[in-house]
Structure 1
C-alpha cells in the first residue's frame, strides 16, 4: 500500500532562527529573495524529514505561494499544495487543471471582499501608526487571501489590527470569510479556501489512480487541524499551536 504524507512546512518542518532552540546544528531550509537563509531545520526536524522522504511520498501542504515555495530547498518530487489549498501543483511543476478550474469562480466571488478587507486594514493601520505590512496573496493570476504581519518586533501592533479592525470586519461578513492567527501571521481566508479541500480532492484522485492508500497529515497551526482530519493518521509538533489547543490539556500542571 502506498503511503502519502501531507506536510505543512513553516513551523512544522522548519522555522525562523528566532524560533529555533539554542543549538549549533541548524540546517538552512528556506531562503529570502536576496538568497539569505531565513528558515532552519533542527536536528530532530532533519531526522523527521529523512524518515518521511525515505518511507512515503511527501506532499507539501502550505500557505506559501509558488514563488515562496520555490525558495524552500528540499527535494519534493510529487504533488504540492500551495496558497492554503488554492493551488495544486503536479509532479511536473504545472498547476492541476481541474483544481484551477474549480478555484477560479471561488476566488472571483471573494475578490471584492478581500479588496475591501485590505483597504480597511491599511486605513486603520495608517490612522493608528501601526508598523504592519498588509497585502493580498496572488498566485497564477488568482487572488487567494489577505495576510498581515508585524514589523520590527511590534507584535502588539498586529494584535491591535486584529482586535480592532480585522476581527470586526470578518464578523460582519456572515461566515463568508474566516480569520487565522498564529504568531506573526494574521490571515483572512474566503470560506471556499482551505488546505482541507485540496487534500480531500487529491486523496480522492490518488485513490482512483492507485487504489487504497495510507495517508498521514502533519501540521502545527489550529487551522491545519482541518486538513489533518482528512488523513488516516494525524501528527503535530509538541510545541505547536495545534498541540496546545488540543492535547495540551492533558499535560499535568506542575
Structure 2
C-alpha cells in the first residue's frame, strides 16, 4: 500500500490541554496561543512523543470544535486538511474551504434557517426560571453553525443540563446538545464530526484503500471514531471513564465479560 495511514484526531484534551487543566512545567511544550498571542495550551512530554510519531508516520487530519481561525493558533504542522467547528467546515490540504462540503452545509442551513435564527432567544426564554445566561450563534463562511449558551454566574451552581430538559420539541428534533462544564452547544444534526469525516473519507479515499485511524477524548468524538478502522482514547479521558464505567456495570449485571 503506497499511502501512509490517514489519521483523524481530536485536538483539545487529546493532543494538548489548557494550562488551567494542567499546570505547565519546563518539560511542557506550548501547543496553542490565545488571540493576543499568549500561551494557552500545552503538550505533556508523552503527548509530544505521540504527536511527533503521528506526524512522521501518517497523514493527520484534525477533527475539532475549533473554528478555522482558532485552528490557526494551534502550533502543529497539519498539512492534509482539517475538519473544524464540530464538522461545520472542511478545509483541504491547501487550507481552502472545501466547496463541496460548503454547499451541502449551505443547503441544510437554508432549510433550517428560521430555527437557527431563533435559537439564541429560545435558549434565553427557556433559561428564564433557571438563571441568567448569555447566548450567541457561531458563524463561519457566512453560515450559522451552532448556538452557544453560558451561565453568567456559574459559581452559583451549573443548571445547563436542566435547561436541556425544557427545550422545545422542535429544537431537540433538529439538533443535538453538547455540554462541557459551563458551555452548552446546540448543534444542528447536519453539523457533526462524524458526517464530516464520512464525507472526507469518501472524497479523499474513494477506493477505500487507506488504513484509517482515529483518536478522541470525549463522548462527542465517538461518532467519528466509529468511521475508523482502529481508534483509541487518552487515559483518564471522558471516553475512557465512560467505557470503564459501562464495562463494570455490564459485568455486574451479567456476571461475565462478553456476550453469548
Partner deviation per Cα, 1:191-238 (whole Å, 9 max, x = no partner): 111111110111112222x75000111111111100000000111112
Q: How does 1:31-42 map to 2 (within 5 A)?
A: 31-42=33-44
Separation of aligned partners in 2, 1:221 and 1:56: 22
Instruction: Give the drift of 1:89.
Output: 0.4
Q: Which runs of 5+ in 2 are unaligned?
A: 250-260
2:144 corresponds in structure 1 to 143
1:217 corresponds in structure 2 to 214
Separation of aligned partners in 1, 2:134 and 2:50: 33
Separation of aligned partners in 2, 1:145 and 1:102: 16
Distance 1:186 1:108, change over 3 A: same
Q: How does 1:37-52 map to 2 (within 5 A)?
A: 37-52=39-54
Instruction: Give the drift of 1:114.
Output: 2.7
Is the partner of 2:46 in helix, strand or coil? helix
CA contact (8 A) 2:86 2:192 kept: yes
Aligned length: 247
Match of 1:175 among 173, 176, 179: 173
1:120 corresponds in structure 2 to 122
Separation of aligned partners in 1, 2:229 and 2:177: 27
CA contact (8 A) 2:19 2:40 kept: yes
Q: How does 1:1-254 map to 2 (within 5 A)?
A: 1=1, 2=3, 3-20=5-22, 23-123=25-125, 130=132, 132-150=133-151, 154=154, 159-164=158-163, 166-169=164-167, 171-208=169-206, 212-250=209-247
CA contact (8 A) 1:7 1:59 kept: yes
Distance 1:17 1:137, change over 3 A: same
Separation of aligned partners in 1, 2:91 and 2:33: 21
Separation of aligned partners in 2, 1:150 and 1:174: 20
Separation of aligned partners in 1, 2:107 and 2:59: 31
**Aligned-pair RMSD on alpha carbons?**
2.4
Instruction: Give the drift of 1:144.
Output: 0.6
Which entry has the higher C-alpha Rg, 1 or 2?
2
Distance 1:175 1:128, change over 3 A: closer
Separation of aligned partners in 1, 2:235 and 2:166: 32
Distance 1:39 1:149, change over 3 A: farther
Instruction: Give the drift of 1:174.
Output: 4.9
168-177 vs 94-103, which moves further: 168-177
TM-score between both structures, scaled by the size of structure 1 = 0.87
Separation of aligned partners in 2, 1:11 and 1:170: 32
